């Protein structure tokens, strides 16, 4: 079971669909939708296991968007969206090992959190968290090829520990970082 602050959820709902109420109640039959169940489980998993607030915040918006039936294109209509999300992308890449919050990134871009998620996904094909994770894995491959220790790579790229890094690396490449490195270092 997941308990959510109704006022915070109302803020998320207002960003996704313009309305004036504090909170919109969800329909009772939503648990019958496999897509909503999938989004809920992803959100629950991120909240219970991940220390990465950017991922959890992104999944919260995805979950509420699916429940509300919002069109993905609604949120990012802004004249300078490409320039704004480029600034966010640069910040993510410059501060790869720092924790990021969706709120801070949205402030950097001058967009709402929802607008940032949609605009970023439109321009780069992934939400900010997934994009950053991909970039970390790309950079880790170079570091491993150059002989860096796995634990040093994990620390430098901002993973919470070596196991966290190894799990994401293996998920993307289907091999462990050490095995990958063994093909380049004798």
Q: How far apart are CA 44 and CA 60, in angstroms?
A: 9
pLDDT in tens, the chain (186 residues): 667 777 777 788 888 876 666 666 666 556 677 888 888 888 888 888 877 888 888 888 888 888 877 655 444 455 567 888 999 999 999 999 999 999 999 999 999 999 999 999 999 999 999 999 999 999 999 999 999 999 999 999 999 899 999 999 999 999 999 999 999 886
Q: How far apart are CA 110 and CA 94, in angstroms?
A: 19
Q: Does the predicted TM-score (pTM) go above 0.85?
A: no
Residue 15's closest CA among 58, 50, 52, 79?
58
Residue 126's closest CA among 151, 94, 89, 163?
89
Both tokens of 18, joined, read 């313009």
């Amino acid at each position: 079971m997941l308990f959510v602050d109704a006022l915070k959820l109302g803020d998320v709902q207002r960003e996704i669909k313009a309305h004036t109420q504090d909170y919109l109640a969800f329909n009772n039959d939503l648990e019958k939708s496999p897509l909503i169940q999938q989004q809920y489980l992803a959100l629950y998993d991120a909240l219970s296991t991940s220390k990465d607030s950017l991922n959890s915040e992104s999944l919260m918006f995805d979950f509420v968007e699916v429940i509300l039936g919002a069109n993905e294109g609604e949120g990012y209509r802004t004249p300078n969206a490409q320039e704004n999300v480029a600034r966010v992308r640069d910040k993510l890449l410059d501060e790869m090992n720092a924790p990021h919050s969706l709120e801070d990134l949205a402030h950097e871009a001058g967009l709402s959190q929802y607008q940032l998620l949609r605009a970023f996904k439109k321009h780069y094909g992934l939400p900010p968290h997934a994009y950053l994770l991909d970039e970390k894995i790309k950079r880790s491959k170079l570091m491993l090829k150059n002989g860096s220790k796995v634990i040093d790579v994990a620390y430098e790229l901002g993973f919470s520990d070596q196991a966290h890094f190894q799990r994401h690396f293996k998920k993307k490449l289907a091999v462990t970082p050490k095995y990958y490195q063994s093909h380049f270092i004798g």
